[in-house]
Structure 1
Amino acid sequence: MGPIVDKKASIISFQNVSKIYPNGVQGLKDLNIDIKQGEFVIVVGLSGAGKSTMLRAINRLHEITSGDIQIDGKSITKAKGKELRLIRRDIGMIFQSFNLVKRSTVLRNVLSGRVAYHSTLKTMFGLFPKEDKQLAYEALQRVNLAEKVYTRADELSGGQQQRVSIARALTQEPKIILADEPVASLDPVTTEKVMDDLLRINHELGITIVVNLHSVDLARQYGTRIIGLRDGEVVFDGPVAKATDETLRGIYGEKILEEPKPEGVTV
C-alpha cells in the first residue's frame, strides 16, 4: 500500500511574492497562491502578464524580490546548495522549445531526467543503472513513444519531441511538473495529444501539474482550476466553471474573446 496523501496539503505556496526586474518593471505583485497536491492548474493571461515569471519562480529559475515560495513545506527561496538541489529534484520542467539534445537518442534525453540522482562523472559517461533505464522506458510507454527509444531526437516531429520532454520530466520521479507554454508551437491535433498526456499523468500518478497557456479554450477543456494573471497580479483564481466570459475579459480584456477562429481550426 502506497503512502497516504493529504490532498489538503499545499505542495506549492506563494507567500506575498513580488518580483521587480532591474529595469524597474514589476513582474509579479504580492502573489498569495496555494496549490494542493494532485491539482491540475492552468495559468492564463496575455504575453507579459507574468505567467512565465510565476512558473519559473516555483523552481527558482527566476529569483523573486520579496516574499517566500514553499515547496512541500520547505522554502525554495531560502534554500542553498544540497537542500536546493533536493527540492528541485522534485520539480520536473517542460519548456515550449522542448530543450532536448537533438543529436542524442530519445533514451539518452529521457535518462537526463535522472542526473540529479547521480554523480556528474557517471552521467557524463552515460553510466545509468538498469533501474533508471527501466524508468525511462516506462515513461516513454506512458507517452506512446516506446518504439522511438533509439531514434535521434532531431528525427522526431515537434509533438513527439515535446512528449519526449514529458517522459524526461516523469523519469525524474517528481512531485510537481511545470509546463511553460508546452503547446505554443504545436498544431491543434498534436496539442490535444500533449495535453491528454499531461492530464493522464496527473490522474494516474497524482503528480501536481501547473501549465501556462495562452488559449482560453484549452484552459477550459483541461484545467480543473484556472489562475488568471494580468500585469503580474492575480485577477482570477477558481474552478473552471466560474471562469465565465466576463471573468476572462478581466484577464484578457475584450479583444481575445472577440477574435474569430480561423476556418477549419479547432482546439
Structure 2
Amino acid sequence: MFFYFYQKKVGKKVTEENQSIISFKKVDKVYPNGVHGLRDLNIDIKKGEFVIVVGLSGAGKSTMLRAINRLHEISSGEILIDNQSITKAKGKELRLIRRDIGMIFQSFNLVKRSSVLRNVLTGRVAYHPTWKMLLGLFPKEDKERAYQSLQRVNLAEKVYTRADELSGGQQQRVSIARALTQKPKIILADEPVASLDPVTTEKVMDDLKRINQDFGITIVVNLHSVELARQYGTRIIGLRDGSLVFDGPVAEATDETLRAIYGGEILEEKAQGAIV
C-alpha cells in the first residue's frame, strides 16, 4: 500500500497568534476489538486556524475529533488544550477545559421539543450551578448572548420556534449558535454538513468561516469533501487507517496528496465528482 506524508514546517518567532491550542503527542487509540482508531498522531493546531480533517470512512476522523474533548478516551499519548493536559484532567479541571471547546454534531443534538432559544442557552450550562440549569434560570446576559449568536447565523426570527419545526440546515445553524454562545476557544464540527443539500451546506460552512475570521476561534471540521476543504480551510489534515498521511496548507493538497489520503479509490470517486 502506498503512503505519502507531508508536513509543512515554517520557522516562526513564537507569538500569541501562532502558539498551539491543540497538541497531539504520540496519540494512539486502540478499540477493545483490537482495531487501531489512531496511530502515533503528532499534530499541533495553532490558535485561530481553520483546519479540515479529511479521509475515507473509518480513517479515524471522528475518533481524532472526539479525542480532543475526551468524548473518546485515548489508549496512550497525551492531548494538550491551550497547554493543559485534557488527558490527565479530572473533575473541575476537566470541566473547565471542556468549557472552552464547543461541539457541533452531524445529528444536531438538539432537544426537539424545546425552543430554539432554550437549545442555544444550553451552551451556557457549564458556567452555572446544576440546580439553576435544571430550573432554567439563565441570567439576562446569557439570553442576550444567545440572541446575538442566533443573529450571527441569521435565525433571530426563530428564537421561540420549536427545534423540530426547523429544517435540517436551520437546526445545524442552531447548533452553531449554541457552540458560539458557549464562548469557546475551539469549535469542533463532526461531519456538520453530511446530511445537508449543497445550498444549505454552503450556508453552514460560511457561518463557520465567518465565526473563525471574526472571533479568531480555532475551528476543526471533519469532512468527506476535499472540494469543501479546499474552499474553506486554511489547512488540511489527511488521515488513513488512523495514521497521519498529510498535514499542510490547502495549496499543497495536490492530486498526489489525495492519492495518499484516499488510495486508489480516489480515481473512481474523482471521476464521479464525489470528492473533488
- Judge same fold: TM > 0.5, yes or no: yes
Distance in structure 2 (CA, Å) of the matches to 1:122 and 1:220: 44
Match of 1:121 in 2: 131
**Aligned-pair CA distance for 1:96:** 0.2
| Count of paired positions | 261
Residue in structure 2 matching 1:153, options 163, 167, 178: 163
Match of 1:14 in 2: 24
TM-score (norm 2): 0.92
Q: Is 1:159–1:194's contact at 8 Å kept on the other side of the alignment?
A: yes
Residue in structure 1 matching 2:64, options 48, 54, 59: 54
Please state if 1:183 is matched with 2:202: no
Match of 2:249 in 1: 239
Relative distance call for 1:187 and 1:257 in structure 2 (3 A) is farther
Distance in structure 1 (CA, Å) of the matches to 2:46 and 2:83: 12
Q: 1:120-142 deviations in whole A, cap 9, x for unaligned? A: 11111110000000000000000
Residue in structure 1 matching 2:82, options 72, 76, 79: 72
Match of 2:260 in 1: 250
Percent of paired sites with the same residue: 83
Please state if 1:99 is matched with 2:88: no
Match of 2:240 in 1: 230
Distance in structure 1 (CA, Å) of the matches to 2:97 and 2:265: 40
Please state if 1:83 is matched with 2:93: yes
**Aligned-pair CA distance for 1:94:** 0.1
**Aligned-pair CA distance for 1:255:** 2.2
SS in 2 for 1:174: coil
Q: Is 2:224–2:275's contact at 8 Å kept on the other side of the alignment?
A: no
**Aligned-pair CA distance for 1:266:** 11
Amino acid of the structure 2 residue aligned with 1:136:
A
Amino acid of the structure 2 residue aligned with 1:53:
T
Q: 1:156-195 deviations in whole A, cap 9, x for unaligned? A: 0000000000000000000000000000000000000000
**Aligned-pair CA distance for 1:8:** 1.5
Q: Is 2:124–2:142's contact at 8 Å kept on the other side of the alignment?
A: yes
Amino acid of the structure 2 residue aligned with 1:123:
M
Match of 2:73 in 1: 63
Amino acid of the structure 2 residue aligned with 1:220:
R
Distance in structure 2 (CA, Å) of the matches to 1:81 and 1:135: 27
Q: Is 1:188–1:266's contact at 8 Å kept on the other side of the alignment?
A: no
Residue in structure 2 matching 1:169, options 161, 170, 179: 179
**Aligned-pair CA distance for 1:257:** 4.1
Distance in structure 1 (CA, Å) of the matches to 2:275 and 2:47: 31
Q: Is 2:22–2:80's contact at 8 Å kept on the other side of the alignment?
A: yes
CA RMSD of aligned residues (A): 1.4
SS in 1 for 2:207: helix
Q: 1:227-260 deviations in whole A, cap 9, x for unaligned? A: 0000000000000000001110110113234334
Q: Is 1:40–1:225's contact at 8 Å kept on the other side of the alignment?
A: yes
Q: Is 1:53–1:62's contact at 8 Å kept on the other side of the alignment?
A: yes
Distance in structure 1 (CA, Å) of the matches to 2:261 and 2:83: 30
Distance in structure 2 (CA, Å) of the matches to 1:218 and 1:93: 20
Distance in structure 1 (CA, Å) of the matches to 2:266 and 2:258: 9
Q: Is 2:22–2:81's contact at 8 Å kept on the other side of the alignment?
A: yes
SS in 1 for 2:176: helix
Distance in structure 2 (CA, Å) of the matches to 1:84 and 1:33: 21
